[in-house]
Structure formats: C-alpha cells, structure tokens
C-alpha cells in the first residue's frame, strides 16, 4: 500500500448532498499518495452514510464549528501534509501534483480559484509571496491550501473560538507571524461553490467584529485602542507623508482598533473612520479643537494614540502599552530663534499660559486620555494659541527625557537615511525631506499599498 503523504480533511455539516463532488475531485488526483478524512461535525443529515458508501474514512464528533472539525481531522491525519477541503468545494485533478512540487521551498501553497454554480468567475491573486504584513490587512490565501502538519502543531491549530468565519485567514496570519513561508501558485486549481447558504457571506457581514477579535488576540494586553490622525488641507490630494504613515502603522502597530481621520478626508483613502472638521486659524487652536473633537466623539476609545501624518514607525510597537518618550532638550534651540519666529512665539505663549511648563518637542505618537484632555480644555483658555501637546503632557504629568526626537527635516541621500541614529521607534518626516531617494527607500520596505489606500 502506498504511503500516505497528503491528508485531505473534509469537514461536513449539513452538506452531505455536496460531499460526493468533493470526494471524487480528490479521487481524480494525478498525485496518488493521499488519504481522505471526512469529519462529521454533528451533522443531522446522512454525512457518515455518504462517506461510507464512497469508501472514505469518517470521524464523528459533536458539532463544534469548522475550526474544531478541521483540527479533529488533522489530529487523526497520517500525512505529513494537510489539505483542508470544504464539503461543497472541489479541486482540479492536478492540484496536489502542482502544489506538492513547491513544498520543498515553502510551508503553505495556495492557488488561484474559480467559482461555480451560482457564479462562474475567475479569481486571481496579484501577489506570489504572502507575508504577515500583507495578511494583516487582507487574505489572498484560500481556505483550500496545502500546508505542513508540523506547522499546524506549532501554531496551535485553527482557533476554535472563531465560529463566525475567517478562521482560515487567522490561521494563515498565525503561520506567517511564526515565520512560515506562504506562496500562491498562479493556476486555477481550486473551485469554490457559490450558493445561497455561505459561511463566507455570513463572515463578511460580521467583518468588523471578526477582525477586531483577530487584532485583540494579538495585542499584549488583549485590548485595543484607536489611532487618531488630525489631517489638514495639505493632505487633500496624494500626500506621501500620510501614505507612508499609514503603511507603517499597518505593518508595525499592534493593538489598535480603528484609525480616525479628523479634518479633511483625502479621496485616496478608504476603510478609515472620519470626524469632519472645518479648518481655521491659528494653527495651534485648530489642532487643539481636532483633538477635542476626537475626545468628544462617543465612538472613539476612552484612550487613543495621537499621530501626526508625518510620523513613520520604524519597528513594531504595542498601542496599548505605548510609552511616553517626549524630548525636553529642544527648548534651548527654539529660544535661539528670532523673536518673530511663529514657532518660538507658540512656545513662549505655552510657557506663559501654563506657568513654567516643561517644554516637550513632541515628534512621536502621544497617548491621550479623553477625560484628561477634556479636563485640561475646560480649565484653560486656548485663545492664545498655545502648544497643545506640550500643555497636555504637563497637565497629565508626563515626564520627559533628555534627548532630541529623530526628525528628517531636509532631503537626504539613501546612505544618510540608512545611517541615521534612531533613538525611538518612530521618526518624524517633514514634507520637504521626501525626495525620490526617500520614496524609493520606503517602497522597498512597503512594496504594496496598505488596506487604507484606494
């Protein structure tokens, strides 16, 4: 008897009438070292009888959902490799042959797919190598993808709490986060049945709740807070500062729930929450009132991370445990400017207003407690246009540190950017510094659009 190399696991719940198609598609494979395991997930129909008639091994269990059924089947599998196949879907006769040729180089292989029955369409994926950054925003890997059983053991299997869908997306993301290599073969080898009863359709209707769960389980504190970005008129059109900021957030920030734009919403953005705000002057009052608008919005989390659109994360951070790193070395430099300098005037106004404030040159994200900020607002007069973030740091008793925040103010060569001495996990990038060399440097690290770019 030929040794089993691939175990095809077919969970079934109320889909015995489709099961024959799925099983026969495996029996037609050109690669023959396989076994089929049907998992009867407490189905009230004739799932077990159908599997037995077709000569296929069947495991029976109480209903526990798709993740539970897949885990049960994989646990019983003899093969080194696993292919999950839903009972209502099918695979091309060359699926196993084509994907197995790639398993020496990678750990997961997915393919392009076609839909059939109620919809006949071809679905391509314009990405070949899929990493964790890509998977955090979208899932190009189908549920029917070949992977190593050892990988399943290492990452703890499918999450059995996820009964509303996207459990395969969560599984692939966990694999990528553990360093496993995922690749998509550009061939139409998977056939997805489109019909009136669809778990995927149900999952899409609960998209926000499921994605929030996936984010929460990856947060150190098992909680989420929002990101708030005040945006001015300069970002109405394509704005590289904001574009790169969002890409760095999506790649490097963990534990955030939603991103809120306060002010103008550029047309090239999508999937963001929006708080409209009409611009006015002076600028400091403008910024203050945008933060206040976020604090007064009932859907914004009680504590949030305030970003400027020119912040760029250079390494991974946890939003819910983000520390306060505010420089207090910059005051002397500012006071050396001309008395007419507008920024110097803001600093002086701030010091006068807040009675010997510790001035912070805040060029990093800032944690804002809504109640603390509103308390400061209601007890102070902001007519003078004081420096809002520095004032809040004083009011909230945030301690500064003796260093300057890294800022790229002017155009730099690639070598100069690479050799910058970075003291924090974020740098502030002024618009004047974004030349072609800087754009190329970012594009190498973020070759794909993030999920917030239309």
Residues constituting the chain: 454
Q: How far is CA 80 from CA 22, 29, 47, 152, 414, in A?
A: 21, 17, 26, 11, 46
Top-confidence range, 106-120, 316-330, 414-428: 106-120
Q: Which residue is associated with the tokens 């574009």? A: 243
Q: Which residue is associated with the tokens 């019983």? A: 76
Label the pairing between strands 122-123 and 253-254. Answer: unpaired
pLDDT of the residue at 349: 74
Q: Which residue is associated with the tokens 């899929």? A: 130
Give CA–CA dist 150/198, Å, rounded: 30
Q: Please answer whether residues 53 and 75 qualify as being in contact, where contact means their C-beta atoms are separated by less than 8 angstroms.
A: no
Average pLDDT over residues 404-432: 74
Other residues' Cβ atoms within 10 Å of the Cβ of residue 31 = 16
Q: 301-332: string of b/e by CB count within 10 Å (b at 16+)?
A: bebbbbbbbbbbbeeebebbebebbbbbebbe
- Number of Cα atoms under 13 Å in the Cβ half of residue 109: 22
Top-confidence range, 105-109, 274-278, 357-361: 105-109
pLDDT of the residue at 380: 65
Q: Which residue is associated with the tokens 């966990």? A: 174
Given pLDDT bands bounded at 50, 70 and 90, which one contains residue 383?
low
Q: Which residue is associated with the tokens 């797919």? A: 113
Average pLDDT over residues 62-91: 97
Whether the domain at 6-206 and the domain at 225-445 fall into the same CATH topology? yes
Q: Any idea which of 81-90, 99-108, 342-351, 380-389 has the lowest mean pLDDT?
A: 380-389
CATH topology of domain 225-445: Spore Coat Polysaccharide Biosynthesis Protein SpsA; Chain A (3.90.550)
- Quick one: what percent of the chain has pLDDT higher than 90? 51
Q: Please answer whether residues 427 and 312 qualify as being in contact, where contact means their C-beta atoms are separated by less than 8 angstroms.
A: yes
Q: Any idea which of 145-149, 196-200, 357-361 has the lowest mean pLDDT?
A: 196-200
Instruction: Report whether pLDDT(284) > 70.
Output: no
Given pLDDT bands bounded at 50, 70 and 90, which one contains residue 327?
confident
Q: Please answer whether residues 329 and 301 qualify as being in contact, where contact means their C-beta atoms are separated by less than 8 angstroms.
A: no
pLDDT of the residue at 386: 62
Q: Give the closest residue to 374 by CA, choosing from 282, 278, 283, 296.
A: 296
Q: Please answer whether residues 54 and 23 qualify as being in contact, where contact means their C-beta atoms are separated by less than 8 angstroms.
A: yes
Give CA–CA dist 308/396, Å, rounded: 20
Instruction: Report whether pLDDT(385) > 60.
Output: no
Instruction: Pull the structure tokens for residue 446.
Output: 């973020």
Given pLDDT bands bounded at 50, 70 and 90, which one contains residue 51?
very high
pLDDT of the residue at 394: 78
CATH homologous superfamily of 6-206 equals Spore Coat Polysaccharide Biosynthesis Protein SpsA; Chain A (3.90.550.10)
Instruction: Pull the structure tokens for residue 227.
Output: 């990101």
Give CA–CA dist 230/289, Å, rounded: 10
Domain ranges of the chain: 6-206, 225-445
Give CA–CA dist 33/282, Å, rounded: 73
Instruction: Find the helix or strand (DSSP H, E) in which 168 lies.
Output: helix 167-177
Give CA–CA dist 311/329, Å, rounded: 20
């Amino acid at each position: 008897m030929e040794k089993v190399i691939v175990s095809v696991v077919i969970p079934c719940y109320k889909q015995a009438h489709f099961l024959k198609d799925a099983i026969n598609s495996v029996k037609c494979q050109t690669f023959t070292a396989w076994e089929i395991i049907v998992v009867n997930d407490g189905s009230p129909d004739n799932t077990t009888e159908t599997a037995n008639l077709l000569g296929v091994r069947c495991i029976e269990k109480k209903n526990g959902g798709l993740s539970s059924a897949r885990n049960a089947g994989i646990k019983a599998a003899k093969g080194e490799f696993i292919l999950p196949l839903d009972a209502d879907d099918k695979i091309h006769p060359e699926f196993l042959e084509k994907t197995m040729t790639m398993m020496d180089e990678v750990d997961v292989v997915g393919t392009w797919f076609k839909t059939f029955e109620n919809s006949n369409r071809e679905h391509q994926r314009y990405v070949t190598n899929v990493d964790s950054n890509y998977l955090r925003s979208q899932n190009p890997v189908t549920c029917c993808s070949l992977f190593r059983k050892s990988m399943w053991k290492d990452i703890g299997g499918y999450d059995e709490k996820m009964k509303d869908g996207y459990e395969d997306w969560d599984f692939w993301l966990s694999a990528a986060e553990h360093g496993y290599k995922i690749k998509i073969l550009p061939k139409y080898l998977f056939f997805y049945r489109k019909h009136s009863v669809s778990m995927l359709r149900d999952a899409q209707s609960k998209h926000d709740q499921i994605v929030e769960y996936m984010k929460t389980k990856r947060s150190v504190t098992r909680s989420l807070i929002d990101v708030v970005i005040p945006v001015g008129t300069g970002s109405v059109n394509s704005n590289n500062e904001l574009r790169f900021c969002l890409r760095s957030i999506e790649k490097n920030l963990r534990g955030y729930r939603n991103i809120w734009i306060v002010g103008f919403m550029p047309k090239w953005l999508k999937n963001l929450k929006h708080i409209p705000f009409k611009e006015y002057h002076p600028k400091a009052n403008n910024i203050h009132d945008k933060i206040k608008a976020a604090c007064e919005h009932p859907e914004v989390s009680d504590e949030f991370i305030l970003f400027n659109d020119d912040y760029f994360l250079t390494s991974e951070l946890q939003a819910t445990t983000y520390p306060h790193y505010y420089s207090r070395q910059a005051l002397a430099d500012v006071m050396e400017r001309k008395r007419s300098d507008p920024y110097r005037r803001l600093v002086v106004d701030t010091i006068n207003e807040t009675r010997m404030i510790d001035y912070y040159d805040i060029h990093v994200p800032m944690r804002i407690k809504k109640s603390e900020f509103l308390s400061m607002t209601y007890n102070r007069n902001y007519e003078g246009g004081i420096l809002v973030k520095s004032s809040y740091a004083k009011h909230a008793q945030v301690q500064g540190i003796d260093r300057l925040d890294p800022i790229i103010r002017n155009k730099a060569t690639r070598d100069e950017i690479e050799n910058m001495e970075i003291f924090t996990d974020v740098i502030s990038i002024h618009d004047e510094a974004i030349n072609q060399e800087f754009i190329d440097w970012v594009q190498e690290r973020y070759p794909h659009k993030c999920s917030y770019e239309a």
